[in-house]
Amino acid sequence: MYQNGKLSVGVTPKEVQLEGLPLKLDGREFELLRLLIRHQGQMIHRRFLQQWIFGDEGDGLERQLIKNIRLLRKKLGDNPNAPAWIVPACASGCKMSVFN
């Protein structure tokens, strides 16, 4: 179980809760969130994210990755103009903010 403020992510079984309520994610969104929460506060390069989510076919799927990040932000209740949970980092990746 990974915890970040009011967000908790369980690996077995795959469960996500935000403020104690279940959050429904598809497989890619879950894997993206799991990677980000495991490395919260650290910048993760976009190419690594693509490989993690899409495997060997990850090259060239940058738009799909951006779409997955946008959908995950929306489900987390993030403001798209000023995201708090998943923030851009160094124009080449993103990171998850750390909340107590």
Closest CA to 57 of 66, 68, 65: 65
Can you list the alpha helix ranges (DSSP code H) found in the chain?
A: 27-38, 46-54, 62-76
Mean pLDDT, the chain, integer = 91
Domain residue extents for the chain: 2-96
- Residue 79, pLDDT above cutoff 70: yes
Provide CATH code, domain 2-96.
1.10.10.10
**Residue 73: pLDDT band by 50, 70, 90 thresholds?**
very high
- What are 13-38's pLDDT values in tens digits? 889 999 999 999 999 999 999 999 99
pLDDT at position 58 is 64
- Residue 57, pLDDT above cutoff 90: no
